[in-house]
Chains A and B, each alone.
Chain A
Amino acid sequence: MDTKTKKRRKAFVDTNDCVACGCCVKVCPKHAMEIWKGVMAKVDMERCVGCGKCAKECPASVIEVKEVLL
């Protein structure tokens, strides 16, 4: 078994309903969010620490923090 595999919390965007307002970008303390070409929010998984600030702020509530194996 790979001992390096760990559970990490990461933000995931439902890109279908994202309105690309940029509220998540403003609150992210790790600068892990960006608005990709004015269409949707994108998460930089390397930087995201899964704090959930973006999910709390998102007016459309399209961001969810999930645990993933990395």
Chain B
Amino acid sequence: MKKHWYDYLWIASLTYLILGFFNILFAWLGLLCFFIPLLISLIKGTKGYCNRYCGRGQLFALLGGRFGLSRKKDIPRWMKSKWFRYGFLTFFFVMFFQMLWNTYLVFSGVQDLRQVVTLLWTFKLPWHWAYHGTWIHLGVAQFAFGFYSVMLTSTVLGLVTMVFFKPRSWCVYCPMGTMTQLICKAKKKDV
């Protein structure tokens, strides 16, 4: 099948994850993975991002497919249920707003900058080597640590489900995918 330029976006996703090990401020670039799918679904009413441009999905497809790192078994029924998908989206939202709240506290000077990446919302990994001081506000760095935590956590979850189930199992419960599908469903009703 003919390859398009967007079939190589997995390189961007991989680069993003690697850059976060060297300078945490690169984490801000991850916002593109939030805004682009939302804008596509809001403006065009499609899941064009998931369908074409999602580098993370491509990365899982590559690792689980060509690299054979997946058992390629069916995902459990409960993981594709609406309860789980919407529940995970809600949980993700709550954790995201908690991260924004922490950023606000650092911005307002109430809380010190924490140079840690929180994996799976629980494990605080020291990540000071990726912070080299900055001329910009500490809150900007705090958001980067928080946002990179979100991105790394979701990648780890995606990798685990890739190994156990089909390569792109993450797509089944990806909060952005669920959200953009909801937007598309709502837009479809408008027409």
Q: Which residues of A contact B (CB under 8 A)?
A: 17, 19-23, 25-26, 29, 35, 37-39, 56-62
A-B pairs, 8 with minimum CB distance: A38-B184, A22-B51, A21-B171, A38-B47, A59-B168, A61-B74, A38-B46, A59-B166
Complex interface: chain B residues within 8 A of A20 (CB): 47, 50-51, 177, 181, 184
Complex interface: chain A residues within 8 A of B51 (CB): 20-22, 25, 35
Which residues B65-117 have CB closer than 8 A to chain A?
A: 72, 74-75, 80-81, 85
A54 CB, min distance to chain B CBs, angstroms:
12
Q: Which residues of B contact A (CB under 8 A)?
A: 1, 41, 45-48, 50-52, 57, 61, 72, 74-75, 80-81, 85, 165-172, 177-178, 180-181, 183-185, 187-188
| A60 & B50 in contact (Cβ 8 Å cutoff) | no
| A21 & B57 in contact (Cβ 8 Å cutoff) | yes
Contacts A20-B184, A39-B188 given; indicate if A60 touches B172 (C-beta within 8 A): yes
Main secondary structure of the interface of B (DSSP, over half): helix
B170 CB, min distance to chain A CBs, angstroms:
8
Looking across the interface, which residue of chain B has its beta carbon closest to that of A29?
B1
| B166 & A38 in contact (Cβ 8 Å cutoff) | no
| A37 & B168 in contact (Cβ 8 Å cutoff) | no
Complex Cα gap A56–B1 (Å): 17
Complex interface: chain B residues within 8 A of A60 (CB): 75, 80, 171-172
